[in-house]
Structure 1
Amino acid sequence: MPTILITGANRGIGRALAQSYLQDGWRVFAASRNPSESLIEGVEAITLDLSNPESIQELKRTLAGIPIDIVWNNAGVYLDKNQPLEQIDNNDWLRSFEINCIAPIRIAQALAENVSMSERKVIAFTTSKMASLTVNGARAYAYRSSKTALNMAVRCFAKDQEAQGISCLLLHPGHVKTDMGGPEGEIDIATSIAGMRSVVDQISPAYKANMDEGYFDYDGSRIPW
């Protein structure tokens, strides 16, 4: 039975990912700060506080020795939605970097051994089109910059993991109708999940050799860095 761990799995995209993989017969570990908020029968819930390094180490200890085919770093925050620069609190900016960039890399680092023991050997990261230096826009400084930093950190981490045969990929889920995406979202969550899963299923060594082309949109197209 293939195994996946998903962060931020108590709502939105993370919860939908957990449901999708569970329905396909996967063993699913769902990590979130408050897993009791939205329990899914059959999913193995794990408490994880992304702002607490010790919580990440506890996650590592809990999963020690278990092969994990996919670690999906999905959890994130969008604290400055539509805010102009003068309204953004510095603490929110720092927290955006902590949750959106630093924590996902630390989780990937903590679970890299588990992934290397598996058959698929994939670490996925939910990023955003708003992270692109080419397709950029105004406002949301904290969110944009934290996701851009994540993209760079993942590229560095991917280089470090080549010897272990681990594939690292960044995925934009699209503008989805969720609590974070808002009711003005352009696609429903089922479309996003199906698209991203298709991208993950098709990942190959060729992607690692062509990361310069950009990262992935949910439909498989590339977004320039």
Structure 2
Amino acid sequence: MSARILITGANRGIGLALVEQYLDANFEVHACFRNEKQAAELIALAAAKPNLQLHQLDVTDHDAIEALSETLSDKPLDILLNNAGYYGPKGYGFGNTDAQEWRKVFEINTIAPLKMAEAFYPQLKQAQRGIIASVSSKVGSMTENTSGGGYIYRSSKAALNSVVKSLSNDLLPEGIISVALHPGWVQTEMGGPNALIDTQTSATGLKHVIDTLTPEHSGGFYNYDGSVIPW
């Protein structure tokens, strides 16, 4: 039986590159996307890859998350990869924080990964070794924050890191590993054209980190090259 992974935000960028990486590794891949109009490449890939199953999902719709879990209730899940993310408004500074956007960013970046973990906990328990890998960012590191600003995105990822740590404490005794991952500065819609690495480099690194996880790694924060990022 092939291993199984569920990836959110799989229609473009790092998410799509991760789909390709895990298909190449003969995983059964369950790929989630929100907007069909922005998922043409993923949909085309699914037509050619029988191991790829697509699910339309808005990760802020908790009823939809539960419904998807019910649909996949009989499928052990080796990896839950929380990749869906939202940066929010760019170019704003202190005194100009849009609170409504802040709430939206938290819904996607912080609350959704926990709701996914809660919903797919039974499937992760069914696997020989379940892994919850959540794509964070080193801008959520307190130690790395030497420039200020970025209040919305930074705080959402710092909060996600806290979620990851609590998941590790709660679930590691049951054999489920939980980690936060930094994908690098990647050439995506969010990262921009001046970013340092492409999506395949990031996805290859992230997959290698996930492949080599042991229970001792649980609750940690890791760069795509495997190095530890300070909280």
Give the TM-score normalised by the residue count of structure 1.
0.94
1:140 aligns to what? Answer: 150
The share of aligned pairs that are identical, in percent, is 42
User: How far is 1:35 from its partner?
Assistant: 4.4
Matched to 1:134, the amino acid is: T
Show CA shifts across 1:68-102 (max 9, x none).
Answer: 11010000100133321333311000111111000
Partner Cα distance (2:111, 2:207) in 1: 24
User: Are positions 1:89 and 2:90 aligned together?
Assistant: no
Partner Cα distance (1:179, 1:113) in 2: 34
Alignment of 1:37-56 (within 5 A): 37-38=39-40, 39=43, 40-41=45-46, 42=49, 43-56=52-65
Structure 2: 5+ residue stretches without partners = none
1:32 aligns to what? Answer: 33
1:218 aligns to what? Answer: 224
1:185 aligns to what? Answer: 195
Partner Cα distance (1:99, 1:28) in 2: 21
Partner Cα distance (2:160, 2:31) in 1: 21
- Residue aligned with 1:145, SS: helix
Question: Among 54, 58, 76, which residue is 1:67 paired with?
Answer: 76
Structure 1: 5+ residue stretches without partners = none
Show CA shifts across 1:30-85 (max 9, x none).
Answer: 01212462312222110111121111111111111100110100001001333213
Give the TM-score normalised by the residue count of structure 2.
0.92
User: Are positions 1:206 and 2:216 aligned together?
Assistant: yes
Show CA shifts across 1:172-204 (max 9, x none).
Answer: 000000111100111111111111111111100
Runs of 4+ in 1 over 4 A off after TM superposition: none
- Matched residues, number: 221
2:128 aligns to what? Answer: 119
